[in-house]
Structure 1
Amino acid sequence: MTYRQLPLHYHQIPASPIVLGCMRFGGAWDGQPITNDLVVEGRQAVETALEIGIHHFDLADIYTRGKAERVFGRVLSEIGGLREQIIIQSKCGIRLAGEDEGPQRYDTSEAHILKSVDGILSRLGIDYLDILLLHRPDPLAHPQEIGEALAKLHQAGKVRHFGVSNMGSEQIRLLQMYSRVPFIVNQLEMSLDKIGFVEAGVTVNREPSKQNVFPYGTMEFCQAEHIQLQAWGPLAQGRFTGRVVEGQRPEIKATSELVAQMAAKRDVTPEAIVLAWLMKHPAGIQPVIGSIRPERILAYRDATQIELTRDEWYELYSSSCGRRM
């Protein structure tokens, strides 16, 4: 029997098991105008994602300095009825250097959140976001101020659901105390290379835990509170799927070879194996893939159709961390 499913709050929205991350939409991180070629590139990526059942798209106000959202907005305007068929998720809370007189910093003040969402909606050419994530933990955040900002956005119909990114359980718990709307997403870096999400629980009270910085209890908290865990960087920049691994730690090369063997055995792509490893976790992890090229997106097609055995999952885990259980 398979228990893989998305957490309870996600039943409110038709989320696909995989998300297409749109960080590469819009080309370079500069102030150059959007070209038709960039729009065509974005449209091809969106159409390919839809072809393999991905209808959840992840953006952020800073991606290519706003051009990612503008390109996505152009794609929305070109494909009739698309807005009603997909989930659009964006993020705010990072201020890049050069956009004003201040340094690069995090900003979750009420004024900045409200202004950011208006900018996101304008660039996308839409009336509401399905999900807004707070991009990074802001050391100067006032939880009550954030709660008031989110309530205003929800009441105004500008954002339907909320979440966070790169936050631990206690940070989420504190924010939730002051928010009248639930947080339904937490997006974190998780992959066969970034295995802290597993290590945090497995190495409790053991020597390896001293090197782990993944916040202990976050996975369990999100499961208990029905918060969808999303994984950014799930392919580890291709380290296990064909990218040259010379100069990497020995565990990368060994795990890459193991992934290739498992992929050949099932007649699927290595990408499908790497994503299936993440998605086997009981938390129902939702990978956010960052590719824009159609051939790369198609490589993920089989990830939701295969189920690794317990032995295979532990083989990959042990290989990646370089030790037996």
Structure 2
Amino acid sequence: MKYHTLANTDLHVSNLIMGNMRLTELSLQEAEKLIRTAMEEEINFFDHADIYGPDYVGQCEEYFANAIQMNSSLREKMVIQSKCGINSAKNYYDFSKKHIIDSVNGSLERLKTDYLDLLLLHRPDPLMDPEEVAEAFNELQSSGKVRHFGVSNHNPAQIQLLEKYIGQKLVVNQVQFSIAHTPIIDSGISLNMGIDQAVNRDSSVLEYCRLNDITLQAWSPFQNGFFEGPFLGDKEKFGKLNEVIDRIASKYSVTNTAIAVAWITTHPANIQVVLGTTNIQRMKDASKGSEIKLTREEWYDIYKAAGNMVP
């Protein structure tokens, strides 16, 4: 497993992350086995959000702690991240001081821990008062409840606005990224071309984060579009892509899942990959992609096979 230190922190983290959005689809016994498999594969980073859980807020956080029987010894081996800012009951975003602090207190209670290594603001709130966010962050940091802060699905200007007021460095931005969903790359590679691929949809967030030492985390690394289904194995829609991935997987003696991971981790930005799988074998397969460094030719072959133009 490949590790690196998150910039502006003392956190030494795996480049793969176990995501827990779907954890409650498993029995408690199955969930424990999945978590322990991740740890055996040397994944030390676990991603949560207060809204994860089909039945009530925080259900997946609670399920995680109960499944693993969280204790101080286990906690020391984990980097735990959670997200807040979405009021799922009323379907709006809320970056108020009260909501942020209440969300963290709830996450800590459910996860049976005294602190979060990272807290991310989940999706941008157009009604955000950055000075109010700053007050919440200061209170959470001074109390020891949150050690580091970041965002999810934020563009550069939104990050800059926050950092103008908060006293902490934002160290993470979690965005959607996979072989079949590449807007953070597309516009840069096809600059000045009058094609759809050249449209800048995210204000060059990849380059901005690299320039400012913000680690990108890729969610839905096996998805096509916005939850339109996995591209791996979809020979009808992604026949050429699967053909190329399978050929490269054979060369490295791994599965297609490992190559989908390696395509992301090969990028020099040290992007972390959030694995949302509930399948133990897929977790193991993905882990084998952590340290594979694809050649430049292989990386571009995969990018082109997904239907992208290299001008």
TM-score, normalised on structure 1? 0.88
Contact 1:200–1:215 (CA<8 Å) still a contact in 2? no
Structure 2 CA distance for partners of 1:153 and 1:89, relative to 1, 3 Å: same
Report which of the two has the higher share of helix: 1
Q: 1:142 to 1:209 in 2, by over 3 A?
A: farther
Q: Which stretch of structure 1 is more off in the superposition, 196-205 or 122-131?
A: 196-205
> Are the aligned partners of 2:5 and 2:12 in contact in 1 as well (CA < 8 Å)?
no
- 1: CA distance, partners of 2:3 / 2:196: 28
**Equivalent of 2:85, from 71, 84, 93?**
93
What is the DSSP-based 3-state SS (H/G/I as helix, E as strand, rest coil) of the residue aligned with 1:304?
coil
Q: Note if 1:125 corresponds to 2:112.
A: yes
Question: Structure 2 matches for 1:27-46, cutoff 5 A?
Answer: 27=25, 38-46=27-35
- Which residue does 2:140 correspond to in 1? 153
Alpha-carbon distance change, 187 to 230 in structure 1, aligned in 2, over 3 angstroms? same
| Separation of aligned partners in 1, 2:140 and 2:186 | 37
Q: Which ranges of structure 1 fall in alignment gaps of 5 or more residues?
A: 28-36, 98-102
Q: Aligned pair count? A: 303
Q: Distance in 1 between matches of 2:179 and 2:63?
A: 31
Measure, in 1, the Cα distance between the counterparts of 2:79 and 2:260: 24
Of residues 152, 164, 170, the one that matches 1:165 is 152
- Between the aligned residues of both structures, percent identity stands at 38
Cα offset, 1:76, TM superposition: 4.2
Q: 1:285 aligns with which of 267, 271, 296?
A: 271
Q: Which runs of 5+ in 2 are unaligned?
A: none
Q: Find 1:239's aligned residue among 230, 249, 254.
A: 230
Q: Which amino acid aligns with 2:131?
A: Q
Q: Measured at CA, do residues 279 and 90 of structure 1 come closer, stay the same or move farther in structure 2, by a change above 3 Å?
A: same
Matches within 5 A, 1:18-97: 18-27=16-25, 38-64=27-53, 65=56, 66-77=58-69, 81-97=73-89
Match of 2:7 in 1: 8
> Secondary structure of 1:163's partner?
strand
Deviation at 1:320, TM superposition (A): 1.3
Q: Which residues of 2 match residues 177-196 of structure 1 at below 5 A?
A: 177-196=164-183
Deviates more, 1:41-50 or 1:198-207: 198-207
Which residue does 1:319 correspond to in 2? 305
Distance in 2 separating the partners of 1:111 and 1:78:
27
State the SS of the aligned residue for 2:23.
coil
Secondary structure in 2 matching 1:123: helix
Give the TM-score of the pair, scaled to structure 2.
Answer: 0.92
Root-mean-square deviation (CA), in Å?
Answer: 2.0
Tell me how far apart the structure 1 counterparts of residues 158 and 172 of structure 2 sit (CA, whole Å): 13
Q: 2:73 aligns to what SS in structure 1?
A: coil
